[in-house]
Amino acid sequence: MKAGDLNLEELMQFRDGHVSFHGRRLILHDLQALGQFRRDLVETMGIEQAQRIQTRKGFFWGQSDAAAMQRLFAWDSPEEWLRAGVVLGRIAGLWEAELEIRQFDPAGGRVELRMTWRHSSEVAQHLAEFGRADAPVCWALVGYASGYASYVLGRSVYFLETQCEAAGALACEAVGKDVESWGPEAEPHLACFHAADIRRRVADLEAEIERQQRELARQRRELERAPVAGGVAIEARSPAFKEMLELAARVAKFDTTVLITGETGSGKEVLARYLHESSPRAAKPWLAINCSALPENLLESELFGHRAGAFTGAARAHSGLFEEADGGTLFLDEIGDISPAMQVKLLRVLQEREIRRVGETRTRRVNVRVISATHQDLPALVAEGRFREDLYYRLNVVQIRVPPLRERRDDLLPLARQILARCSERLGLAKLRLAPASVDVLLKHHWPGNVRELENALEHAAVMSRDGTITPDLLPLAVSGAGEPRLALEPGRSLRDVQREYIAAVLRSVNGNRAQAARILGIGEATLYRHLREQAGISGEGDRALSARRRKA
């Protein structure tokens, strides 16, 4: 789990007069009321005692949030757990903050953290009640950061605010260190934390803190301008997927042929649609066809059209997809599955930019951008003589590889939330959200079926959910792992046993859909049926279904 994956709707529940943070009851404060409370504290107890009370309140709050984050999620690293506190503060309306980790040793060495925040809730309170200040006023926020960091590291880490918006600075800034690293000038401030455990005094506290690098802000702006395909935003966080989208963005504006490669279910058609919608042809037709879904004669008619009477059932002339997509883009999915004869005809179209309808002798000019995709290794098919080399080079002017989901873990949670939002709208369900336990389950799964498997798993859970919360028990067993043996890969197990368990898991992940399971496994349907017959106990229904299908034929 990463800090950037935290989501407000998954953390908080609003029902029956309660606002809860997974078992901890919360209340929503009014900023003006808090400002009046601050004034009362200062006027009745003095500014030093008011600062001490507010700092300690923030300290305990930060500790509680850090403990909750430890209980709910399995963090990728202590650094991610630490950064989650910054995100929680933003969710709670405390700040818009950034954290820089200068030194960080969870094992007990030196720690130096620097924070910058804007839109401080405490600055707003102080300015409303007292006007401009002469010193920093973000007492509770400093306490919150200190309590959170101290809990994560298991030892005392204290922040001190070095500049504040309330005193005229452009942003509030603070530095946090372990107690051994603070010098004598910090001791009066550390008294707010009851820091009696300071054992030595060293270098002076730096007066000015460098601003947070602007690169983070630039990346955030780029993320907000996420590319869109088919009305759906494509959010990229992983380096592999960002690199792919950058290449796609460059290629899209040129009218060139593109070959998209990648595993089944990885999102090749979504990328193809993005290429079309980002191109000069965006206002023209977008058409797509799965070349492996039709027999050769029907595929030829669909692509090139036919004249009336060209074959039995051709009662009227029919224009093919190349003609209908004129001026636009034609997407040929699973191009590696077309027959040798169809390869020759497609090569002619790409070379001459003209087609001939089935049953006709005259040619027709077409102006179509062709984007193709395959999950197969086309160079290997060329070497085996099963795919024409000249057609491969015609299709492969620019190749874009879509990384499988297991190589883009950072994209998984944004993608899952996007899928749930679409499920809510399409299925007419209440707003769906992931339970924290489901987040860890999704991040741990290998996703052999890629995005398509994720979509199926979440839709399955959405249909089963009663209150809109996606809990692990609602996910398919192949994803949640509940009640099923793990694939034990230790020496002594035969390859046959491991293969049997893996095929069974894939079948469960797609709810028994054998055609889809075959695509995920990268084998033909007939090969899958042969495995099912040979490996008794996986799917007796598969044998019966195959026998019934043959009897009907």
Residues 226-403, CATH architecture: 3-Layer(aba) Sandwich (3.40)
Q: What is the distance between the alpha carbons of residues 374 and 439, in angstroms, rounded to a whole number?
A: 31
Count Cβ atoms below 10 Å from residue 12 Cβ, excluding itself: 16
Mean of pLDDT values over 108-135: 92
Asked if 98 contacts 153 with a C-beta cutoff of 8 angstroms, the reply is no
As a whole number of angstroms, the distance between CA 509 and CA 503 comes to 10
User: Residue 181: which of 155, 213, 143 has the closest Cα?
Assistant: 155
Report yes or no on whether pTM surpasses 0.95.
no
pLDDT exceeds cutoff 70 at 350: yes
* Res. 98: pLDDT tops 60: yes
Q: Cα angle at 96 between 77 and 67, to 5 degrees?
A: 40
How large is the average pLDDT for residues 531-549? 52
Each residue's pLDDT tens digit, 443-499: 989 898 899 999 999 999 999 988 889 999 999 888 887 544 445 555 566 767 777
- Can you give the pLDDT at residue 7? 78
Give the pLDDT score at 223.
43
CATH fold, domain 3-215, is Muramoyl-pentapeptide Carboxypeptidase; domain 2 (3.30.1380)
Q: Is the pLDDT of residue 188 over 50?
A: yes
Residue-wise pLDDT for 261-294, tens only, equals: 999 889 999 999 999 999 999 999 999 999 988 8
- Give the integer Cα–Cα distance in Å for 514 and 495: 22
Cα distance between residue 430 and residue 13, in whole Å: 14
pLDDT digits (tens, 9 = 90+) for 222-246: 444 455 555 555 667 889 999 999 9
Consecutive H or E run containing 524: none
CATH number of 485-553: 1.10.10.60
Q: Hey, what's the torsion of the CAs at 465, 470, 471, 474, to 10 degrees?
A: 50
Least confident segment among 154-163, 174-183, 409-418, 451-460? 174-183
Q: Is the pLDDT of residue 143 over 90?
A: yes
pLDDT band with cut points at 50, 70 and 90 for residue 548: very low
Is the CB of residue 58 less than 8 Å from the CB of residue 143? yes
Residue 19 bridge partners (DSSP): 14, 26
Return mean pLDDT, the chain. Answer: 82
Q: Is the pLDDT of residue 206 over 80?
A: no
Which residues lie below 8 Å from residue 425, measured CB to CB, with a gap of 6+?
none
Delimit the domains of the chain by residue range: 3-215, 226-403, 485-553
pLDDT in tens, 145-165: 999 999 998 888 899 999 999
User: With bands split at pLDDT 50, 70 and 90, how would you rate the model's confidence at 528?
Assistant: confident
- Position 480 scores a pLDDT of 82
- Measured CA to CA in angstroms, residue 375 lies from 85, 267, 446, 524 at distances of 42, 11, 18, 13
